[in-house]
A and B are shown apart, each in its own frame.
Chain A
Amino acid sequence: MKHVVSRLLDTVLCGAMHVLTVFCVAFLVMPLFVVVIASFNSTTVIFPPRDWSLASYMQIPQVAVDTFIRSLALGIGSATLSVLLCVPAAIALVKSRLPGKAAIEVLLRSPLQFPAIILGVAILQYFYFWQGALSVPLVGTFLGLLIAHAVYTFPFVLVPTIARLSALSGQYDEAASGLGAGSLTILARVIIPLMRPGIIAGMFMSFIMSFEDVAVTMFLAGSKMTTFPVYLFGSAEVSNTPGLYAAASLGSLVALLLVMLVERFVGIRTVLSRG
């Protein structure tokens, strides 16, 4: 009898767990489908749409397209800048006898856990100071946004490049040096090529963080340098049009296409496990 009860309880609990799992998966994907479906409205957002049409995609305003292109450029720019800064730093932190390595690494990782909104305000205040004291305009300029995004996203490159280098055995560069290669040759032909998966993973995460950031950018964009997510956020605050849903769907599509590319070439799980 006790055995039967125990078996029954086991079946019921496992069943409940599976039901909850199905519910969770539905919970995760429902809003994504709903956004796309809602974009097939033509005049007002009703669910399900009464008149299935692609009219809303024609209604996407020019400003959405402009900000979208700017966000792409900014994402690529900040990913590139992060790589230029972090690859030499990762090599220094792993391959050289730098004093206080561990402390430096902890410090350099710290932007990762730092609230984006505080970073945004702090950089805004700092950029005002630059504007006033040094008359270097950074608020509302592409350069200013690029710097801020690189501050926000560089740890996403630093962490996987350090992880990749630490996982590699030092025998590769010892062998290269034993065969007579100079430091620069070792860098260019051995170390940096071996770091490539870490660099790609980091660039991807860095691009995504930049491409989707609102909290840092909204302080620094001004009226002329609005980015795509800030534009979407601003419109979503005051309106609810099918065009908004169409723009949001297309924006998400770009991110998901990028995820599929990364999955194809590096594997998304390796990217995430290093971040």
Chain B
Amino acid sequence: MSVGTPTLFKLGIIPLAFFFLVFFAYPVVHFLWGSLVVEAGGSSSLTLRNFTDALGSSAVLRSLSTTLLLSVLTGVVSLVLGYLLAFQVVRRSPLLGRVIFVAAIASLFTSTIARALGWRVLLGFEGPINKALIAMGIVSEPLHLINNFASVAIGMIHIQVPVVMVGLIPVIETLPRDFERAAVGLGAPRWKTFLTVHLPMTWMNAVPVGLIAIMATAAYFTTPVLLGGGRVDVIAIQIQQASQVLFDFGYAAALSVMLVAMISAVAIAILLFTHWRRNVRARGSS
């Protein structure tokens, strides 16, 4: 390589670095910093007022707990179902695997608004699910299935299952088939092979995928609005209200800091827990 080449290549970082600093880093830091600043009479002062206001509001506290519950529930269910689907895609007959993969990809790339509309029809008062329940004689009157926490959770799980599945396929693919062949060859039943070979060898890499689902769900806006019918107040809705209805960027920033703090706390707790479990396991076996 000629002498000037590495220097020339180095310069390539400049446009993106500039773009990143000017349009991502600065706006985000400035916005979040604004949560600590209150402007009064031409002078600005540092204060925690936005945070005390937010924490003093029962609506905010309720939306924080709703968001936490929704995202953890979505993450856990999506991880279980996504693991199942990824396992089937990798380990089952090519045909079944292909069907599952196509279904998940079609779902993944369909707009989330369209999918929420689909659930709105499915879960509607006169929708197919209510009709089926009545036809089977399980209920005599249609149930209110939509505009509640459960419908939002269903919509969010529907969004995250394909994401988790796609993330888990490489995790399961890296597990050598010989291990399970050995277990089955030695007479272990398939469920025992799954519990003692598959799960222990993949879950360390599976948990972060579930974590991404939790983090994405915690900040989701559209599905809680469309399937919650105003009754499921997540923190993203509070942030949108604060900035577009109240025009209070400082307050919106305080809510955003709280959202980021909550996501980070969940992430740290889960990662610490998985590492602790792994250490216990490692010590136990040595």
Contacts and interface: CB of A to CB of B under 8 A. Distances in A.
Interface of A: 6-7, 9-10, 13-14, 17, 20-21, 24-25, 27-35, 38, 45-48, 84-93, 95-98, 104, 107-108, 110-111, 113-119, 121-126, 147-148, 150-151, 154, 158, 173-174, 177, 182-183, 186, 208, 212, 214-215, 218-219, 229, 232-233, 236-237, 240, 244-245, 248-249, 251-252, 255-256, 258-259, 268-269, 272-273
Interface string B191-218: 1000000000000000000001001001
B115 A31 contact: yes
B252 A121 contact: yes
A117 B221 contact: yes
- Chain B's interface size range is 35 or more
Interface of B: 1-2, 4-13, 15-17, 19-20, 23-28, 30-32, 34, 81, 84-85, 88, 96, 99-100, 103-107, 109-122, 124, 126-128, 158, 161-162, 166, 169-170, 189-191, 212, 215, 218-219, 221-222, 225-226, 236, 239-240, 243-244, 249, 252-253, 256, 259-260, 263
Contact of A115 (B2, B212, B219): B219
Contacts of A108: 16-17, 20
Nearest to B219: A115
A96 B9 contact: yes
A212 B161 CA distance: 18
B16 A85 contact: yes
Given A31-B158, A177-B2, A114 B10 contact: no
Contact of A28 (B26, B103, B239): B103
A248 B166 contact: no
A215 B100 CA distance: 29
Given A92-B11, A183-B2, A219-B243, A29 B106 contact: yes
B27 A125 contact: yes
The 8 A-B pairs of least Cβ separation, nearest first, read A31-B118, A88-B12, A115-B219, A122-B31, A126-B27, A89-B16, A92-B12, A248-B114
Contact of A21 (B100, B236, B252): B100
A158 B12 CA distance: 13
B252 A31 contact: no
B120 A240 contact: yes
B27 A182 contact: no
A114 B8 contact: no
B114 A35 contact: yes
B117 A245 contact: yes
B23 A147 contact: yes
A97 B11 CA distance: 11
Given A35-B121, A104-B17, A92 B191 contact: no
20 contacts: A34-B128, A86-B16, A87-B12, A90-B12, A91-B12, A104-B17, A108-B20, A113-B215, A117-B221, A121-B252, A126-B31, A151-B23, A177-B2, A183-B5, A214-B113, A214-B221, A214-B222, A244-B117, A248-B114, A255-B110
B218 to A, nearest CB: 8
Given A25-B100, A30-B118, A117-B239, A259 B219 contact: no
Contacts of A212: 111-112
A85 B236 CA distance: 30
B34 A125 contact: yes
Contacts of B113: 214, 229, 232-233, 236, 248
A122 B191 contact: no
Given A24-B84, A46-B126, A6 B189 contact: yes
Given A214-B221, A236-B120, 20 more contacts: A9-B189, A24-B84, A24-B85, A28-B107, A32-B115, A35-B121, A47-B128, A86-B16, A96-B12, A104-B17, A107-B25, A116-B221, A117-B221, A122-B32, A148-B23, A173-B1, A177-B1, A186-B5, A237-B226, A273-B170
